[in-house]
């Protein structure tokens, strides 16, 4: 029978075309104040266009997407625009001792009171 011939990924073509996607993204990002580059809602449409562009260029070069070369290119764009966007970790600390003791003692006292009430009521079943 006839054998289906698959095209091989033309990595050099893809790497030649991807910078155009980066250039277009860079032009769009100039419209966004650099102080807002960490706020995805400010540029989500630009990033979506960039992603679609890289996918289209990879597919045009008969390459799957994402692939290690495209990911490397995308990572470079991320480093260029989003390297200062680190997620701030919340530093958790215990509440003051007075509040902590209160938060622990209230459920303990309520549990003791409920147990006492149940035992008392079970001994006084003649009234109920």
Average pLDDT over residues 108-126: 89
Closest alpha carbon to 21 in 67, 59, 60, 56: 56
**pLDDT value at position 58?**
96
**pLDDT value at position 94?**
84
pLDDT digits (tens, 9 = 90+) for 10-21: 999 999 999 999
Q: For residue 95, is pLDDT > 90?
A: no
Is residue 82 within 8 A of residue 37, CB to CB? The reply is yes
**pLDDT value at position 5?**
40
Q: For residue 113, is pLDDT > 90?
A: yes
**pLDDT value at position 78?**
93
pLDDT digits (tens, 9 = 90+) for 50-93: 999 999 999 999 999 989 999 999 999 999 999 888 766 767 88
For tokens 């001994």, the residue is 123
Residues 59 and 35: their CA atoms lie apart, in Å, by: 34
- Quote the tokens at residue 65: 């997407």
Average pLDDT over residues 99-114: 94
- Quote the tokens at residue 47: 């990033």
- Is the pTM higher than 0.85? The answer reads no
Q: How many Cβ atoms sit within 10 Å of the Cβ of residue 46? A: 17
Architecture category of domain 9-81 in CATH: Orthogonal Bundle (1.10)
DSSP H helices, 8-94, are: 11-29, 44-60, 68-82
**pLDDT value at position 7?**
75
pLDDT digits (tens, 9 = 90+) for 22-50: 999 999 999 999 889 999 899 999 999 99
- Residue 47 sits at the vertex; the CA angle it makes with 86 and 75, to the nearest 5 degrees, is 55
Q: Distance of CA 15 to CAs 26, 28, 67, 69, Å?
A: 17, 21, 11, 8
């Amino acid at each position: 029978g006839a054998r289906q011939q698959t095209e091989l990924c033309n990595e050099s073509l893809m790497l030649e075309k991807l910078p155009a996607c980066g250039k277009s993204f860079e032009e769009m990002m100039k419209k966004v104040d650099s102080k807002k580059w960490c706020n995805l809602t400010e540029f989500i449409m630009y990033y979506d266009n960039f992603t679609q562009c890289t996918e289209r260029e990879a597919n045009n070069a008969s390459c799957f997407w994402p692939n290690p070369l495209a990911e490397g290119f995308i990572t470079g764009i991320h480093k260029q625009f989003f390297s200062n966007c680190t997620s701030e970790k919340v530093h958790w600390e215990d509440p003051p001792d007075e509040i902590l003791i209160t938060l622990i003692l209230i459920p303990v006292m309520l549990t003791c009171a409920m147990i006492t009430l149940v035992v008392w009521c079970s001994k006084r079943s003649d009234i109920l």
